């Protein structure tokens, strides 16, 4: 189902990206709509797949996961079986919070959250034990200058 991303819908999305726990009443007031009209728009945005899900964002430092590693993976194997095994492995490892198949020299890039360099090493050992790769290297984030889940509208 396609939904019209008009000015009101974009405004609704902007507010929901910032705080998905906002009540329909508060949201309706902010976007100058009636409660029912606002609810119908939010429902249409959900039904169309524009709003995928609503989640709570957690502070990784308070959960003892302060270290971010950007893991660069290169492989000489590009068969479907290898890719399926790699995909399953990445999906099953909770430390992997994002994974991308890349163009260019790099095959895959993983964003990994762990408690320490030792925690990263334990993750690394489990990863290479499960899937053969030709090269794995990591860079550790020293400072998070910006991280957001909000898309530019």
Q: What is the pTM of this model?
A: 0.88
Question: Is residue 1 predicted with pLDDT exceeding 80?
Answer: no
Architecture of domain 7-47: Orthogonal Bundle (1.10)
Query: What residues contact residue 43 under an 8 Å CB cut-off, 6+ apart?
Result: none
Question: Is 7-47's fold the same as 67-140's?
Answer: no
**What's the token pair of residue 61?**
């430092």
Half-sphere exposure in the Cβ direction for 31 (13 Å, CA): 26
Mean of all residue pLDDT scores within the chain: 96
98-135: pLDDT as tens digits: 999 999 999 999 999 999 999 999 999 999 999 999 99
Give CA separation, 90 vs 8, 87, 113, 126, 131, in Å.
Answer: 38, 5, 13, 11, 10
Instruction: Tell me phi and psi for residue 84, to 5 degrees.
Output: -60, -45
Question: Is residue 67 predicted with pLDDT exceeding 90?
Answer: yes
To 10 degrees, the CA torsion angle through 129, 71, 59, 55?
A: -80
40-58: pLDDT as tens digits: 999 999 999 999 999 999 9
User: What residue segments make up the domains of the chain, in order of their start?
Assistant: 7-47, 67-140
Nearest CA-CA partner of 98 in 130, 133, 141? 141
**What's the token pair of residue 93?**
């490892």
Average pLDDT over residues 128-145: 96
Query: What does CATH list as the number for 67-140?
Result: 3.30.70.920
Give CA separation, 91 vs 25, 47, 102, 110, 126, in Å.
Answer: 38, 26, 17, 11, 13
């Amino acid at each position: 189902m396609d939904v019209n991303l008009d000015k009101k819908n974009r405004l609704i999305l902007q507010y929901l990206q910032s705080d998905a726990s906002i009540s329909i009443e508060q949201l309706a007031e902010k976007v100058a709509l009636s409660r029912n009209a606002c609810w119908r728009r939010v429902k249409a945005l959900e039904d169309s797949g524009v709003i995928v899900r609503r989640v709570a964002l957690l502070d990784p430092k308070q959960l003892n996961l302060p270290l971010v590693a950007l893991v660069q993976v290169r492989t000489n194997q590009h068969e479907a079986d290898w890719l399926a095994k790699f995909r399953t492995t990445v999906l099953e490892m909770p430390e992997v919070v994002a994974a991308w198949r890349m163009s260019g020299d790099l095959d895959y890039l993983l964003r990994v959250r762990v408690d320490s360099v030792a925690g990263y090493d334990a993750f690394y050992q489990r990863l290479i034990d499960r899937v053969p790769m030709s090269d794995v290297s990591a860079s550790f984030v020293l400072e998070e200058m910006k991280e957001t889940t909000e898309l530019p509208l």
